[in-house]
Structure formats: structure tokens, C-alpha cells
Amino acid sequence: MNKTSLRIVLAATALAALGACAHRDAHQDGRLTATATLTPTTGNSTTGSVRFAQSGETVRVVGEISGLRPGAEHGFHVHERGDCSSGDGMSTGGHFNPGGAPHGRHGAGTHHVGDMPSLRANANGVARFDFTSTSIRLGNGPNSVVGKGLIVHRDPDDYATQPTGNAGPRLACAVITRS
């Protein structure tokens, strides 16, 4: 191999290594994303989509959910299993709680990792939301919600009843998937 060919091979190898590092660093820098497409449980009409984007230690959660009771508040939680196979959403199990914390209000004291802010539907039964969480993660680790279930409940979360918040039946279910 002549010097020119060797330089080309070395340059290509260096570029490939830099590309791999850049890809790894993008994930380490928190630019992970995930999505969830909510489908109604049996007898309900609630649907929607949710996007998750992690930047550093913060995950931004943005979405729109329709088919809700107009003007009402609805519990919203990440559940332990990404399984929407049962008609009632119960196949997702309980709230995602890898640390064994008591149920509580998202962003205020101790709470399950899966405790999200309740959703408020407008007069048309649509909830639009955009909030951040420092509890959930999209990468590896115990607080990763990727592969977990996402549930919208019929009733508001009372943030006190253990371990569920007394949010009632499950209106819609999704599996959170990396995008």
C-alpha cells in the first residue's frame, strides 16, 4: 500500500470513529426521543400522541389527547409494562415505580417515577400539554420509560390515595417507544 492509499484509509477510519463518537455523544448529551400513540380502551374514544425528548437530565413531554370529558381533569401515568393487549388497559400493571416511592404529585416531593401531571381537557374534550420532568429518562437505567405503558385515566388524580391516586378506569393506552 502506498502512502496516499494509507492516508486515505487512515482518514476514513478516523472519520468513522468520529462519527461513532458523535452518535454516542448525542445520546450522552441527552438528545434521545420517544413517542407514544394512545389508543382507546374498550368502550372509550380517547386517542392521542405524546412526544418525549431528553436534554441532559430533563425530559420534555408534549402531546395532544382527544375524546376526553370536556372541561375535566384526567389522571396521566406511566405504567410498569408496555402491554396494551387487555381491553381495559390493566395489562400495563401498576404505576412505574422503580424506586418504591409513595404515589404523589409530579414535581413536588416524593412520587412514583410514573406520576405525571394530570391533564385538563378543554371545552372540546382535548388536552394539549407541554411540561418537563426530571424524574423520567429515555436512555438506559432504572428510570427509563421506554418500553413502558402510558395511561390516561377517566378521573383526576387526587395525589394522595396509595398507590394509584384514585384516578379511575383507564381510557387510553400506549407503549412508549424510542424514536
Which residue numbers are catalytic?
77, 79, 95, 103, 112, 115, 153, 170
Q: What number of H helices and E strands is found in the chain?
A: 1, 10
Angle at 92 between CA 158 and CA 118, to 5 degrees: 25
Give the three-state DSSP class for 44.
coil
Q: Write out the DSSP string of 80-136.
A: S-----STTSGGG-SB--TT-PPP--TTSSS--TTB-PPEE--TTS-EEEEEEESS-
Rounded distance between C-alpha atoms, residue 162 and residue 101, angstroms: 10
CA atoms 105, 134, 141, 31: torsion sign = positive
> Residue 93: CB partners within 8 Å, gap ≥ 6?
79, 80, 81, 83, 149
